[in-house]
Every structure is written in structure tokens, then in C-alpha cells.
Structure 1
Amino acid sequence: MISSQLFRFLMVGGLNTVVGYGIFAGFIWAGMPYPIAIGLATVLGIAFNFQSTGRLVFGGAPLSRIGRFVAVYGVVYLLNVGSVAALLRAGLNVYLANALVILPLALIAFLLQRRFVFEVS
């Protein structure tokens, strides 16, 4: 059974993902290289995601933890770019490649945020 915290994370993350993917797709459509598009979409979402995830999922978002939150996003960004690159080499297009890695990366982000950012045991 899925925990209520993971369920809230996925619901909040769903909204964050729709917005972030829309930004990413817009940048790709405009001709931006995918590593830059992923990076800019990530940067634009960090402040909102920190507040929404911290407050609605983990019960608080003290600014003292923003550095750790950004560090987790850095790790997720590197995993995202590496995964998309591998899927592109396998013949997928960039839109599908990034869409396929969203859920696995969301689960990794949840575990990292839970352990290293919001310190929930």
C-alpha cells in the first residue's frame, strides 16, 4: 500500500511535473538544446516546488533547508540528462525520452528529499 506521504508527494509532484514539463517542451519547441531546457525548467520550478513539497508533503519548508533541496535537484538533473541522453541514443525522440524518466526520477526525488532535505524517518 502506498503511504499517505508518498501519495501527497505524487499529487503535488503531478502538478509540479505538468508545469515543469510544459516549460521544458516549450523550450524544446523554441529550439533550445535539451540539457539547457531541462536545466531552465528545473531552475524555474525550484522555489515553487520547495514550498509546495515542503509544506504539503513534509509538513514544513524552513528556508534553512533550501540548499539541500537545490542539491537534490542537482542530482535529479544529472540523472535526468543522463537518462535522456541514453534514450536518445536508443532512438527515442526527446519528448518521449524525458516523459519516460519522469516517474522514476520523481520516486528518486521523493526518497532523497525525505532522507536528506526534510529528514523524515
Structure 2
Amino acid sequence: MSGSLKQTLVELVKFNLVGGFNTALTYGFYASLVYLGVDYTYALASEYILGTLVGFWLNKRFTFGHHEKTTSTLFGKMVITVLITFGINLAVLWVLVEHFGLDQYLSQFLALCLVVISQFVGQKFFVFKKH
């Protein structure tokens, strides 16, 4: 196994550990907001804000090992990645809820499969890309 592939696999494992923690935290937040009567689209937006902040910090330090002080540039790239993923997530969630009649909790859980893949690719090859 090449060094580059091994590094990517290690990063993928770390990303999934961080993502598991972040997803549990933010999904709990989303579910709580929906339970309290907040519209699922607003709950999703709130979930993304919290998840972006937590995920950026944990992935920057732990997953991709960035310790430079260029945080504003990296965070700007993270916001772009998150906005793209948010659009994908919202579209999938909307289709599952409005067209397939699935409940809001299950729909978001299913949508997370695409979110994880798109976030890893965006963060590895765009946000925290090694030069």
C-alpha cells in the first residue's frame, strides 16, 4: 500500500470518528429542534451551523493535522464546502419528506450518507489540501 493511500485511509478513519461524534451531537440538536416544533428546514440550518464550527475545529486539528494560523482562509473554504453539502442535504431531505412521505427524522438520517461522503471529499481535497 502506498504512503498516500495509507494516509488517506488513516484520515478517513479519523474523519469518521470526528464525524460520528459531530453527527451524534448535531443530529440530537436537529431532532430536539424538530421535537420542539421548529420547521425541519430551519432545524437543518441550525444543525449545519453547529456542525460546521465543531467539525472545522476537530478536523483541522485531529483529522488533517493542520496547525497553521491560516484559519480564516481555511474556514472560508470550509463554509463553501458546507454550503454545497447543505444544498445536497436539503434537496435529499425535501425529496424524502415531501415526495416519499418519510418522516423528518428518518429522512435526515438517510441523507447523512451522502453528507459524509461529500464532506470528506470536500475537506480532504479542497479545505485541508496539502500543497
Gaps of 5+ in 1: none
Q: After the TM superposition, which segments of 4 or more aligned residues of structure 1 sit over 3 Å from their partners?
A: none
Q: Does 1:96 align with 2:106?
A: yes
Q: Which residue of 2 aligns with 1:116?
A: 126
Residue 91 of structure 2 is aligned with which of 78, 82, 96? 82
For residue 35 of structure 1, report the CA deviation from its aligned partner: 1.1
How far did 1:73 drift? 0.8
Normalising by structure 1, we get a TM-score of: 0.93
Report how far residue 54 of structure 1 moved. 1.1
Query: Could you say which residue in structure 1 is the equivalent of 2:74?
Result: 65
Listed as ranges, the gaps of 5+ residues in structure 2 are 1-5
Partner of 2:40: 34
Deviation at residue 116 of structure 1 after TM alignment: 1.1
Number of corresponding residues: 121
Q: CA RMSD in A?
A: 1.7
Q: Percent identity?
A: 27
Larger Rg: 2
- Structure-2 separation of matches of 1:27 and 1:47: 18
TM-score normalised per structure 2: 0.86
Higher relative contact order (CA 8 A, sep 6+): 1
Separation in structure 1 between the aligned mates of residue 42 and residue 113 of structure 2, nearest angstrom: 21
